[in-house]
Amino acid sequence: MSLDRRAFLKLGLGACLLPLVGAGRAQTLVSEQLYAFGTLVEVGVATDRPALAQLAIDRVARDFVAQNRQWHAWKPGALSALNQALADNRAHQVDAQLCRMLREAQALSRASAGMFNPAIGRLIGRWGFHDDLPPTGAPPSARELAELIAVPPTMDDLVIEGERVYSRHPQLQIDFGGYAKGVALDLALDRLTAAGCNHAVVNLGGNLAVSGQREGRPWRIGVRHPLRRGAIIAVVEVEGRTAVVTSGTYERYREHAGRRYAHIIDPRNGQPAAHVASATVLHPNAALADAAATALVVAGPQAWPEVARAMGVTAVLLIEPEGQVQLTPAMAEHLRFVSPPASVRMVRL
């Protein structure tokens, strides 16, 4: 299916692909939309061999459906089987892919000083953010949260021996909601490149990754304004393998008695992160970018540069709840604001 490029505009929460202006060499953008990872997904390939691209896109679409099942925290699949074993205090044999993810998540969690902590699945589940739909009703009580974070599980409590996994912490449950989409983006671009599709864009609900170029120019990505529904705050131009991943407290939250509770949880106090509206990270590795974007939201408007440095991230755009913007020089190189922000602070890492 060849789509009007404008179709991409409807997409994405954190970011979306923008149409080209005055395109040069005409290439077809073959694209496909589907629903996976609880969100709208789009895969596009700029190509002059549309039939081949379509086959590769179909494979990627099938991968997403399988990954969504395998890496879901509680729907039946590989990760939920591991979580069940952990809950039963049993060792469990995982497949090679899940094993790689657990090891990488362990390293990323350590680098983030525990701000990115997929071992707090029980806490996330208690807030109700395991589900595709935002939960309703009163948030967990202070007492319950205090119990859950008294001795919080960390990824280092997970012991990985070969592909055999067990936990030293009885409360440890894995939630890859802040990371699996990044892994899926990396694998999707690997799959497309292997099939000869070297110019591609993959959008998992506003988390994007691109490869190559769009008709001899960089891909143009719109970064959604976290505080103005439907508006774009900036345009980012990227080419070659690059992920543009955004974590935000504005698009997925539960609401109760006039208060909003975002789906990113601060493992230190068990509460939803409330001091960052969104964090956008550019990085060649989408899994790292995904973990980092989540970690930066948790770290907050003062501490994030330290976490970015430790995770090896240089290009960051961070927007505070009142609209103040912080960004790094490496991000500024790629970015142009379209809605003037309240204030902009350049942060050298």
In the complex, what is the shortest distance from the CB of residue 207 to ligand ADP, in angstroms, rounded to a whole number? 5
Out of ligand ADP, Mg ion, none, which partner does residue 177 contact, by CB within 5 to 8 A per kind? ligand ADP
Residue 338 exposed, middle or buried by CB count within 10 Å (0-12, 13-18, 19+): middle
Residue entry with tokens 């002059």: 48
Which one among 67, 294, 326, 328 touches ligand ADP, defined by CB under 6 A?
Answer: 294
Beta strands in 69-170 (DSSP E): 92-93, 158-161, 164-167
| CA-to-CA separations, 3 to 31, 41, 46, in angstroms, rounded | 6, 14, 11
- Using the rule CB under 5 A, give the single segment among 53-61, 85-93, 172-180, 210-218 that binds Mg ion: 172-180
- Using the rule CB under 6 A, give the single segment among 188-196, 264-272, 300-308, 327-335 that binds ligand ADP: 264-272
x/- letters, 262..291, toward Mg ion (CB under 5 A): ----------------------------x-
| CA-to-CA separations, 287 to 126, 269, 320, in angstroms, rounded | 25, 25, 24
In the complex, what is the shortest distance from the CB of residue 176 to Mg ion, in angstroms, rounded to a whole number? 9
Measured CA to CA, the distance from residue 196 to residue 177 in angstroms comes to 30
Residue nearest to ligand ADP (CB): 177
| CA-to-CA separations, 284 to 186, 189, 210, 244, 290, in angstroms, rounded | 9, 11, 9, 9, 11
| CA-to-CA separations, 128 to 139, 217, 272, 277, in angstroms, rounded | 9, 42, 12, 20
Which one among 157, 175, 186, 320 touches ligand ADP, defined by CB under 6 A?
Answer: 175
Tokens representing 314?
């240089």
Sequence-distant (6+) residues with CB within 8 A of 74 are: 80, 83, 125, 130
Nearer to ligand ADP, 114 or 212 (CB): 114
x/- letters, 221..260, toward Mg ion (CB under 5 A): --------------------------x-------------
Sequence-distant (6+) residues with CB within 8 A of 17 are: 5, 8, 9, 11, 42, 44, 201, 203, 208, 219, 220, 221, 222
Which one among 68, 207, 278, 280 touches ligand ADP, defined by CB under 6 A?
Answer: 207
Nearer to Mg ion, 189 or 296 (CB): 296
Residue 285 exposed, middle or buried by CB count within 10 Å (0-12, 13-18, 19+): buried
Out of ligand ADP, Mg ion, none, which partner does residue 252 contact, by CB within 5 to 8 A per kind? ligand ADP
Q: Which amino acid is at 3?
A: L
Which one among 294, 298, 301, 307 touches Mg ion, defined by CB under 5 A?
Answer: 294
- Taking CB under 6 A as the rule, does residue 247 contact ligand ADP? yes
Out of ligand ADP, Mg ion, none, which partner does residue 222 contact, by CB within 5 to 8 A per kind? none
In the complex, what is the shortest distance from the CB of residue 281 to ligand ADP, in angstroms, rounded to a whole number? 10
Which one among 44, 267, 270, 301 touches ligand ADP, defined by CB under 6 A?
Answer: 267
- Taking CB under 6 A as the rule, does residue 298 contact ligand ADP? yes
| CA-to-CA separations, 130 to 17, 38, 55, 83, in angstroms, rounded | 28, 10, 32, 13
Tokens representing 11?
């997409």
Q: Three-state SS for 334? A: coil
Please name the helix (run of DSSP H) or strand (run of DSSP E) that holds residue 295, with its range, or none.
Answer: helix 286-311
- Taking CB under 6 A as the rule, does residue 173 contact ligand ADP? no
In the complex, what is the shortest distance from the CB of residue 171 to Mg ion, in angstroms, rounded to a whole number? 22
Nearer to ligand ADP, 243 or 298 (CB): 298
Which one among 177, 301, 305, 341 touches ligand ADP, defined by CB under 6 A?
Answer: 177
Contacts with Mg ion, residue ranges (CB under 5 A): 178, 247, 290, 293-294
Contacts with ligand ADP, residue ranges (CB under 6 A): 116-118, 124, 129, 175, 177-178, 181, 207, 247, 252, 263-265, 267, 290, 293-294, 298
